[in-house]
Amino acid sequence: GQSLEQPSEVTAVEGAIVQINCTYQTSGFYGLSWYQQHDGGAPTFLSYNALDGLEETGRFSSFLSRSDSYGYLLLQELQMKDSASYFCAVRDGAAGNMLTFGGGTRLMVKP
Amino acid sequence: KAGVTQTPRYLIKTRGQQVTLSCSPISGHRSVSWYQQTPGQGLQFLFEYFSETQRNKGNFPGRFSGRQFSNSRSEMNVSTLELGDSALYLCASSLDRENVLTFGAGSRLTVL
């Protein structure tokens, strides 16, 4: 089976940088994804890492280390609108390619 | 193009009843997945369908079932509802098994 661990809550101030970590245990790892969900909204795709290293998309970056079964989402120049829940997800090839989500990290950005 | 459409958006049922939720994927998307979201459990995988075939099923009791039609629209059914079934049920579509899922707004089910 697979499991993902991420912090339940993170607080940061506007303009700061925040890192949301995700560790996973799978037996057939395909890649790590990140999704953002605002209160009352649907999850939306942010990024995907299949290989080790950093992927940058504007203010957001995502990192993966397959040897450490670890990844993180980095949010720079935080804005109030970044207050949301962030989920990491892995697709496990040994579990029928099922996409499994972590419990989510609630990010609160304060002025 | 239109996004993923889920109906109904909100519904209230009582214990023992059954419910059917509908999901219309993005046009051209053939893969549909369902997730249950509750405050304490995050997003729990229910099923995945592709071309009318169930490719995967999560760890949920047999009361939870689903199907996909030839036009890729999908339905899920929960029978003999329990209080613990109260949740947001999210549907997501993709062309196939990419890692980019597009989610619908969800169907919020309350069981009294």
* pLDDT at residue B70, rounded to an integer: 95
Across chain A, what does the average pLDDT equal?
Answer: 92
* pLDDT at residue A91, rounded to an integer: 81
How much of chain A exceeds pLDDT 70, in percent?
95
Across chain B, what does the average pLDDT equal?
Answer: 93
**pLDDT tens digits for range A19-60:** 999 999 887 788 899 999 999 899 999 999 999 999 998 999
Question: A97 vs B56: CB contact, 8 Å cut-off?
Answer: yes
Chain A segment 64-103 residues within 8 A of B by beta carbon are 87, 89, 91, 95-103
Mean pLDDT, residues B3-7: 96
**pLDDT tens digits for range B8-57:** 999 999 999 999 999 999 999 999 999 999 987 789 999 999 999 998 89
The chain A residue lying nearest B39, using CA atoms, is A103
In chain A, residues with a C-beta closer than 8 Å to the C-beta of B103 are: 42-44
How much of chain B exceeds pLDDT 90, in percent?
83
Checking if the pLDDT of A93 tops 80, the result is no
Q: Are B80 and B19 in contact (CB under 8 A)?
A: no
* pLDDT at residue B12, rounded to an integer: 98
* pLDDT at residue B15, rounded to an integer: 97
Question: A96 vs B55: CB contact, 8 Å cut-off?
Answer: yes
Question: B99 vs A101: CB contact, 8 Å cut-off?
Answer: no
* pLDDT at residue A52, rounded to an integer: 95
Q: Give the 3-state secondary structure of chain B.
A: CCCCEEECCEEEECCCCCEEEEEECCCCCCEEEEEEEECCCEEEEEEEEECCEEEEECCCCCCEEEEECCCCCEEEEECCCCHHHCEEEEEEEECCCCCCCEECCCEEEEEC
Question: A97 vs B102: CB contact, 8 Å cut-off?
Answer: no
Q: How far is A70 from chain B (nearest CA, A)?
A: 18
